[in-house]
Structure 1
């Protein structure tokens, strides 16, 4: 084996190790991505739109992060595959525990931010956040309230992912799609149920000020896991991004 070949091999191995380390850091400390990305926190406007909380605006992101419009052009466009065989258990069997803390609770803590109150068992029992899909401020005083009114949404719905490439992937890869913090967000239960398994062509958040970020997040997930989009979905995403051409991906 030549020196050049050995050098390339070492570089490839190093890249894989670093990539794995980044994923583990995000999972173990779900606040990390938000702190790094956010350059400032904005207040909620009088109209009630989300300007603070779960995700920072694309304009605040580093210039080195790809534009959502650019990444969208890299997604494969094709029709939906049959939904045959789809079950949530094809992706995961409930939220995994990570270092003694349930993933649902980690996402709640991440999205509630500094207002989150956590008990000794790592459960979020109180707090408030600016709900992204409706733009409303939600405040809770018990775990029961949170359980009833807040769900963890898959930004790219699992059924949608299944019909756009996930069914052809390994069980390990589907588990990553279902549990990746990039694809998870705390939202109002009613809004999440309304969304169901819709894509950007069939459902968008009521909160128009969040749509650019929402679409960019979907594009980021689909690009990361090599999932495709339909023509109608791509058109809908393009129309949203036309109003925010500087929106960055995640």
Structure 2
């Protein structure tokens, strides 16, 4: 049962200017610009050390069945689980975007995203909201196959809305990533360390296992720290 095809190759084709190492900031076909620097800063050394320890303790398991999976098995989408009056989507947009403008207290209507997955700079507008999407670093469907199918509803809803597992990203690589783990999809090199630290922290927090392939890929990503 394969749900993803050529994800890494698709990303490389989608953002060739980002990965080419050009010194200029060329305009891309959709009006964005390729960033001169890779997205995402490297985590603190203490965080990477913690991630290496946690990775060594994660259980290795094979993927289970996708049977019964639906998005709503992880509860209300973007529920205000931290009770700050704003839904999780707008919380993450406000956290991850710069030059943020809001309507009222919560609703992010515009901003700029330095996409961690591709390194591309994206202009966000609520009128074209799909350009910037909220990704689950440890995907919901993958979590289902790795054991979340046996969780109760409250635990799945907490997982689905956990800020630590959510990132604002460009829609193109997010669609390519889909429900892939690190063995099948990877972000640009400049974000692989931070991605691994985030992924491992979530797996450890929710006691989710990883496949052997994902374990080895995460280990490789941590070598970039």
* TM-score greater than 0.5 by the shorter chain: yes
Q: Does 1:211 align with 2:192?
A: yes
Q: Does 1:174 align with 2:156?
A: yes
State the match for 2:68 in structure 1.
85
Q: Please, which runs of 5 or more residues in structure 2 have no aligned partner?
A: 1-33
How many Å separate the matches in 2 of 1:64 and 1:202? 24
Q: Does 1:120 align with 2:104?
A: yes
Q: Relative to 1, partners in 2 of residues 1:65 and 1:190: Cα closer, same or farther, differing over 3 Å?
A: closer
Normalised TM-score (structure 2): 0.78
Deviation at 1:161, TM superposition (A): 0.5
Normalised TM-score (structure 1): 0.71
State the match for 2:59 in structure 1.
76
Contact 1:128–1:137 (8 Å) recurs in 2 = yes
State the match for 1:3 in structure 2.
none
Q: Structure 1, residues 83-130: CA drift from partner, whole Å, max 9, x if none?
A: 1111111112322144432211111001114x1111116211111121
Q: Relative to 1, partners in 2 of residues 1:118 and 1:223: Cα closer, same or farther, differing over 3 Å?
A: same
State the match for 1:105 in structure 2.
90
Q: Does 1:156 align with 2:138?
A: yes
Q: Does 1:225 align with 2:206?
A: yes
Deviation at 1:166, TM superposition (A): 0.8
Q: Does 1:197 align with 2:179?
A: yes
Contact 1:48–1:136 (8 Å) recurs in 2 = no
Large movers: runs of 4+ above 6 Å: none
Contact 1:109–1:116 (8 Å) recurs in 2 = yes
State the match for 1:48 in structure 2.
37
Q: Does 1:240 align with 2:221?
A: yes
Q: Please, which runs of 5 or more residues in structure 1 have no aligned partner?
A: 1-44, 245-250
More displaced stretch, 82-91 vs 99-108 = 99-108
How many Å separate the matches in 2 of 1:65 and 1:159? 26
Matched length: 190
